[in-house]
Copies of this chain bind each other. A is one copy, B any other.
Amino acid sequence: MTFYLIGLGLDLKSLSLEALEAVKKCQKVYLEIYTVDYPYPSDKLEKVIGKRVESLGREKVENESIILEAKNKDVALLVYGNPLAATTHISLILKCKKEKVNYGVIHSESILTAIAETGLQLYKFGKTASMPKFQKNYEPDSFLDVVMDNLKVKAHTLLLTDIGLTLEEALEQLEKTAKKRNLKIEKIIVCSKVGTQKSKIYYGSISQLKKKKIDMPFCLIIPSELHFVEQEALEVLSEKA
A111-140: contact bitstring with B at CB < 8 Å (1 yes, 0 no)?
011101101011111111110000000000
**Across the interface, do A109 and B109 meet the contact criterion of CB distance under 8 Å?**
yes
Q: How large is the interface on A (under 10, 10 to 19, 20 to 34, 35 or more residues)?
A: 35 or more
A69-97: contact bitstring with B at CB < 8 Å (1 yes, 0 no)?
00000000000001011010010011001
The prevalent SS among residues of A at the interface is mixed
Q: Is A9 an interface residue (CB 8 A)?
A: yes
- Given A109-B16, A233-B94, A127 contacting B128 (CB threshold 8 A): no
A130 contacts which chain B residues (CB < 8 A)? 123
A109 contacts which chain B residues (CB < 8 A)? 7, 16, 82, 107-110
Q: How far is the CA of A11 from the CA of B7 in the complex (A)?
A: 14
**From residue A20, how far is it (CB to closest CB) to chain B in Å?**
7
A236 contacts which chain B residues (CB < 8 A)? 94, 97
Q: Which among A34-42, A146-154, A170-178, A206-214 touches the partner chain? A: A146-154
A191 contacts which chain B residues (CB < 8 A)? none
- Given A14-B18, A17-B13, A127-B126, A84 contacting B104 (CB threshold 8 A): no
New A-B pairs, 16, CB < 8 Å, besides A15-B17, A112-B113: A10-B107, A13-B16, A13-B17, A14-B18, A16-B16, A84-B113, A84-B117, A84-B122, A94-B236, A107-B195, A109-B109, A110-B113, A123-B130, A126-B126, A126-B127, A152-B153
